[in-house]
Amino acid sequence: MKRSYSGGGVSPIHGLEDGTLEPAEFERLLAAELVTVDGGPVPAAGLIDRMFHAFAPVQPMYDALRAARSAGALTALLSNSWGNQYPRDLFADLFDHVVISCEVGMRKPDERIFWHAVGLLGLAPEECVFIDDIEHNITAAEALGMRGILHRDADATVAALRDLKLLP
Whether 9 has a pLDDT exceeding 60, the answer reads no
Confidence of residue 135 (pLDDT cuts 50, 70, 90): very high
Domain assignment of residue 3, yes or no: no
Domains contained in the chain, number? 2
Nearest alpha-carbon partner for 107 in 125, 80, 132: 80
Confidence of residue 168 (pLDDT cuts 50, 70, 90): confident
Mean pLDDT value across the chain: 92
Domain assignment of residue 37, yes or no: yes
Nearest alpha-carbon partner for 78 in 131, 126, 35: 131
CA separation, residue 153 to residues 61, 109, 149, 160 (Å):
9, 21, 11, 11
What are 26-66's pLDDT values in tens digits?
A: 999 999 999 999 999 999 999 999 999 998 889 999 999 99
Considering the domain architecture, whether residues 136 and 159 belong to the same structural domain is answered as yes
Considering the domain architecture, whether residues 65 and 145 belong to the same structural domain is answered as yes
What are 61-120's pLDDT values in tens digits?
A: 999 999 999 999 999 999 999 888 888 898 989 999 999 999 999 999 999 999 999 999
pLDDT for the residue numbered 1: 36
Count the Cβ atoms, other than its own, within 10 Å of residue 73.
Answer: 17
Confidence of residue 10 (pLDDT cuts 50, 70, 90): low
- Structural domain for 32, as ranges: 12-52
pLDDT for the residue numbered 3: 39
Considering the domain architecture, whether residues 44 and 73 belong to the same structural domain is answered as no
Considering the domain architecture, whether residues 96 and 136 belong to the same structural domain is answered as yes
Domain assignment of residue 64, yes or no: yes
| CA distance linking residue 39 with residue 165, whole number of Å | 52
What are 80-92's pLDDT values in tens digits?
A: 998 888 888 989 8
Domain assignment of residue 6, yes or no: no
